[in-house]
Amino acid sequence: MITLKKIAKFLYNRKHFVISFLILFFLYKFYLNIEFNIVNFFKNNILYFLFFGILFELSLILPILKNHYLFKYSNLNISKYVPFRLIYFSYLGDNIAMNIGGDVTKFSIYKKFFSTRKTIFFLFFDKLSVLGAKFIILYFLILIFLYKNFENHLVNFIIISFFLVVMSYLIISFSINSLINLKLNFFKFKSKYLVTFKKLIKEDKNLRKIFFKYILLSLIHQIYLCFIFYLLCLHLNISISFEESSIIFLLLIILSRIPLSFSGFGVREFFSIIFFSAIGITSELAFSASVYYGLIALFPMISSTFLYFYYKKII
C-alpha cells in the first residue's frame, strides 16, 4: 500500500532530481514566455544535438590523459584501459551522487596504489588544478572583455587583481605554515605530511611532471569546453562574443558544481538567465543554451552506463 511516508521517503532518496525539477518548473512557469516550447526546440535540432554530444564526449580524453600520466609517472604496471574506465565511472558517479560520487570512485582506486596521504593530495590537486584553470582563463577573458569595452577600467582591474593574488598567496602560505606548526592529527592526516609533501615536490622529478601535466591538461580541457559552449550559442543564434560566452560558461560551471541538484540542472539554468540577461539576451535563449549544454554533458553518462554493465570493474 502506498502511503505518504513511503512517497516522502522516495522523494527524499531522489532529492537532487526533485530539486532540479522544482527549480526548472519555477523558471519555466515564471521566467519564460508562455508560448516557449523547449520540446519542439530540441526536435528541430536533433542532428546538431548529437554533434555537440560527440564533441563533449571527446573532451573526456583530457581527464583520461591526466590519469594516464599519473599512473605512468608513478611507475605503476597497470592496464592502459584503467584511466579510461576510471574517468567514465567517475563521471557516472558524479551525475548520480551530486558531484561527489566521482571523487569517491577515484579515492577507492587511488587507494589501491598509493598511501592515504598521497591519495588525498592527488585528489585535492586534481580539484585545485581544474578550479585554478577556470579562474586563470576567466581572468584573461575578463582582461580581453575590458580591453574591448571598458579600456579605461583595465589598469584598475590589473592592479586590484594583482593585489588579491598576492594577498591570497600570503594567506595560503600562512595557513599551511600554521597547520604545520599546530601538529594536527586527524583522519590519518598529520601536519608533518605537509612538510613531507613539500620535500617530495622538490626532490621527486616525476611528481613535478604529474603536477605540470595536470595543470596543462586542465587548461586545455576548460578552453575546449568554452569553445563547445560558444559554438552552441552561435547555433542558437545568440549574439555573443567568445569571451562573453566563455565568462558566462565558466561562472555557470563553477556554480553548478554545488552538490544540490542532478548534474547541475536547475541551478545552472537559474544563473544562466541572470548572466545572459546582463548582456541583453532573452530568458528563453539563456534557458535553452543552459539546458542544451546540460543534456549534451549527459552523453558520457550514457556511455559510462553501458560500460558499467559490460565491464563492472575498473581494474
Of the listed ranges 19-28, 185-194, 289-298, the least confidently predicted one is 185-194
253-270 residue pLDDT tens: 988 887 777 777 888 889
Total count of domains within the chain = 1
| Residue 30, domain member (yes or no) | no
- pLDDT, position 21: 80
What is the span of the domain harbouring residue 195? 38-310
| Residue 284, domain member (yes or no) | yes
137-156 residue pLDDT tens: 999 998 888 888 887 888 88
| Residue 3, domain member (yes or no) | no
Distance set, CA 312 to CA 103, 112, 140, 305 (Å): 18, 17, 42, 10
Contact 261/267 with Cβ under 8 angstroms? yes
- pLDDT, position 10: 47
Instruction: Output 306 or 190, whichever has higher pLDDT.
Output: 306
Which grid coordinates belong to 36? 516557449
Contact 299/55 with Cβ under 8 angstroms? no
| Residue 19, domain member (yes or no) | no
Instruction: Output 199 or 87, whichever has higher pLDDT.
Output: 87
- pLDDT, position 204: 72
Q: How many CB atoms lie within 10 A of CB 106?
A: 21
88-142 residue pLDDT tens: 888 777 666 556 777 888 888 888 888 877 788 888 888 888 888 999 999 999 8
End-to-end Cα separation, the chain, in angstroms: 43
- Can you tell me the distance from the alpha carbon of 132 to that of 247, in angstroms, rounded to the nearest whole number? 14
The label of the residue with cell 564533441 reads: 55
- pLDDT, position 242: 94
Distance set, CA 129 to CA 68, 152, 251 (Å): 16, 32, 16
- Can you tell me the distance from the alpha carbon of 113 to that of 293, in angstroms, rounded to the nearest whole number? 35
| Residue 260, domain member (yes or no) | yes
Tell me which residue of 49, 56, 51, 55 sits closest to 292, measured CA to CA.
Answer: 49
- Segment 275-287 shows an average pLDDT of 90
SS3 60: coil
Share of the chain above pLDDT 70, in %: 80
| Residue 32, domain member (yes or no) | no
* H/E stretch holding 189: strand 189-190
What's the one-letter identity of residue 300?
Answer: P
User: Does pTM top 0.75 for this prediction?
Assistant: yes
| Residue 123, domain member (yes or no) | yes
* H/E stretch holding 186: strand 185-186
| Residue 57, domain member (yes or no) | yes
